[in-house]
Amino acid sequence: MPTPRESILAALHARLSALPSTVLRGDVLPERVPAGGLVILRDGEPGEPEVTLSPLAYHYQHRAEIEAVVQDADREGAFDTLTASIGTALAADRTLGGLCDWVEAEAPRSVDLPIDGAASLKAAVIPVILHYTTADPLT
């Protein structure tokens, strides 16, 4: 049986996989960016939990990251479409089917990356905060 943390990350990956882009989890950036863009989910850090004692519970604000990358003649438009579709996917179910209390994304931190002999990449890291509670930090 997967841990709550793994169940939440798998549900987030599944939600992102419905996008019209290539969606990976924890993979390295491939040599080529697919035409529809690329999304890579990074598991991130759970951080220090707040703890309640009766009953014992660990309340996390887990910080995962979504890397969004486009390589298109209309980089700005393609990037805007990709980040908006990520926002729409997250807003459609803020609890990921009841697995977590709340999912919220922060604004993307974008950067243009020039590529020798090819169209430049536009990429961003989008922090996603996963609020959830578990009875044990290891299970």
d(CA 13, CA 23): 8
Q: Which of 40, 67, 48 is nearest to 127 (CA)?
A: 67
Q: Residue 74 is encoded by which pair of tokens?
A: 């209309």
Domains of the chain in start order, with CATH, are 4-134 (3.30.2000.10)
The CA-atom distances, in angstroms, between 51 and each of 4, 23, 38, 95, 101 are 16, 34, 37, 21, 16
pLDDT in tens, the chain (139 residues): 899 999 999 999 999 999 999 999 999 988 888 988 999 999 999 999 999 998 999 999 999 999 999 998 888 999 999 999 999 999 999 999 999 999 999 999 899 888 777 778 899 999 999 999 999 998 7
pTM of the model: 0.93
Whether the Cβ atoms of residue 89 and residue 103 lie closer than 8 Å to each other: no
